[in-house]
Structure 1
């Protein structure tokens, strides 16, 4: 922790540095009737694209801030203001156009010294440092981590000679996430290399394949996670044991069909030949029977 003390006529300003967050606490001299400070978050602020978030700025002890001037600004913008409260009203005209209709403070909470900023429909471009400023009190609030996540989906299941290949896809992530496969006992599996595509909107699509063999419960999980924004999404699938049994291929059915056809043809040919043979022998038998009486008459 780095502390830099600067004495001024109105009070003493103490700057606190924690990791990537720069935070300011203002204290009044001991001789003043009261002492004020800003309560700061101990963890980085995390936002998900499309969600609404709160950038904290709280006066302690609680003090009515309705009559104070409250300014939220982004130093890298021109104009820099993202929200201005002055003389009991919001000055919408002071805002930078990209924040119009997206920033607000709670009037009810202002009465209790809570001047936190609500930022609606977070965008990737919002990942910047914001300053909450009140005369004699100043606090730097940093939107230090910004992300977007989506649920993964197992989009294909293919059989091989002795296993099953699963493919998992998850679209619309920022920053780039990692993909993990787990079995029913939570053990990590060894998938192939993850395919990553970054779209024109700076969002990532990840795809991963894993080959699995028949197991005790055949439960598998595709997990997509981003550690920087502490976000994880996963999907589960249970594969029937019968699915691992490879059915006869179409070629086997074709071979069986051909064999049956050949047998049928041979039987048909044998029947036709037998019938033809019988037809050939029948006239000869009749002719022999007709000639026999004549031979007997001649003998008389």
Structure 2
């Protein structure tokens, strides 16, 4: 009986060792999946740094470590046994990092980073020590703004200066004509401010009395950003309009671009569809694992959809704010133009009165000079009338767009409420 007992114990020993080997092997199979390309974010954005375990496992009570080796302390976010360790976190990230508990249940340990700053750019490491699984996520941070064109009258020439501030990384600026061909300009000036952002400017000089159509483009390929503004200058307007009128035309051109951008945003929001990603199911998974997988997929779909709605709402609110500012600007512009028209009428009355009072024996040269002044007044009056009509039209279009986007905002808020309701039901 002794040898038989020892034999049984030996077999049992081998079974235990084999089971331990299988457990370690299964644990070793877990790997961390991250993005293959850098994540690009603009300053002030809220973004997600993707990272998840595969196969999916509940990571709520696991240690999760997000870090940057170029920082001291290096910790960006640390979570152990379901508790965030804020004392180990680098002060740069205080109050700006979080993980979703719902996503953790499905092995998704993606980090949400709020109000992105220029200093956030770098390489992040995502690690779950239990499985010795980690990956890296590269974050590129950028900043961009729309350029503005200003006109300056210099003798027989007009100087068009394009300027755009708040860029990162350093951008490129170029001018193109109506056919999209680059035009010769003065060297571009790039200046970096104390905030680390670049201001770029460039000038082009044209002769008076001719019509021009130009586009000023500012681009940064690393963050896939291109901003541009257009200007059409009529030779007739050069000759008769005051500096105030020139400034008004430029501002109205900017307004037209803003309205056009808002219309495009509305169209895109109408066409946008929520992307739902589904993981392939392993044929060898047990019934319980399949059920967990489906629950995780549904939670992830709802979380992603909720995030999309939040982003849409953010853009909608920002657009409404910009449009309200534009509406105020147009209102002030209309008041200025009304004042200019009143001044035109007063000057015209004075010119007509002087013309009638001029004695018939006055010199022909004096009569000609007053006639020229009257002609210029008439042309200037026509310009101001056209600008006023354009302003009125822009105000009407702006109000209509505000109404449409406000309706869109209401729908997004209702959709968000429904998604939150479904999420609560899923948790139950």
TM range, smaller chain: 0.5 to 0.7
Deviations for 1:13-48, whole angstroms, at most 9, x for unmatched residues?
xxxxxxxxxxxxxxx999638943333323222222
- TM-score, structure 2 length as denominator? 0.47
2:79 paired with 1:85: yes
- List gaps (5 residues or longer) in structure 1: 1-27, 250-259, 267-300
Deviations for 1:45-91, whole angstroms, at most 9, x for unmatched residues?
22222222222212223322112111111223332211112212322
Q: Which moved more, 1:196-205 or 1:213-222?
A: 213-222
2:145 paired with 1:150: yes
- Name the Cα RMSD after superposition: 3.4
1:31 and 1:69 map into 2 onto residues whose CA distance is 20
1:45 and 1:215 map into 2 onto residues whose CA distance is 49
Match of 1:132 in 2: 126
Deviations for 1:177-198, whole angstroms, at most 9, x for unmatched residues?
1101122332222221111222
Q: Secondary structure of 1:66's match?
A: coil
Match of 1:65 among 50, 59, 74: 59
The 3 A distance-change label for structure 1 pair 89 and 182 is same
Match of 1:32 in 2: 26
- List gaps (5 residues or longer) in structure 2: 1-21, 243-357, 365-428
The aligned runs of 1:1-300 (5 Å cut-off) are 32=26, 35-135=29-129, 136-143=132-139, 145-158=140-153, 161=156, 164-212=158-206, 218-243=212-237, 246=239, 264=362
Q: Is the 8 A contact 1:158 1:166 kept in 2?
A: no
1:209 and 1:33 map into 2 onto residues whose CA distance is 63
Q: Secondary structure of 2:58's match?
A: coil
The 3 A distance-change label for structure 1 pair 71 and 211 is same
1:31 and 1:247 map into 2 onto residues whose CA distance is 84
Q: Secondary structure of 1:190's match?
A: coil
Match of 1:284 in 2: none
Number of equivalent positions? 226
1:82 and 1:166 map into 2 onto residues whose CA distance is 47
The 3 A distance-change label for structure 1 pair 174 and 215 is farther
2:80 and 2:24 map into 1 onto residues whose CA distance is 29
The Cα of 1:132 is off from its aligned counterpart by 0.8
Q: Is the 8 A contact 1:184 1:217 kept in 2?
A: no
The 3 A distance-change label for structure 1 pair 80 and 159 is same
2:197 and 2:241 map into 1 onto residues whose CA distance is 43
Moved over 4 A (4+): 28-31, 212-218
Q: Is the 8 A contact 1:29 1:35 kept in 2?
A: no
The Cα of 1:157 is off from its aligned counterpart by 4.8
1:214 and 1:133 map into 2 onto residues whose CA distance is 65
Q: Is the 8 A contact 2:151 2:161 kept in 1?
A: yes
Q: Secondary structure of 1:228's match?
A: helix
Q: Is the 8 A contact 1:156 1:168 kept in 2?
A: no
Q: Is the 8 A contact 1:74 1:131 kept in 2?
A: yes
Q: Which moved more, 1:214-223 or 1:72-81?
A: 214-223
Which protein is richer in strand relative to its size? 1
Q: Is the 8 A contact 2:35 2:51 kept in 1?
A: no
The 3 A distance-change label for structure 1 pair 215 and 264 is closer
The 3 A distance-change label for structure 1 pair 43 and 214 is farther
The structure, 1 or 2, with the larger RCO (C-alpha pairs under 8 Å, 6+ apart) is 1
1:125 and 1:61 map into 2 onto residues whose CA distance is 33
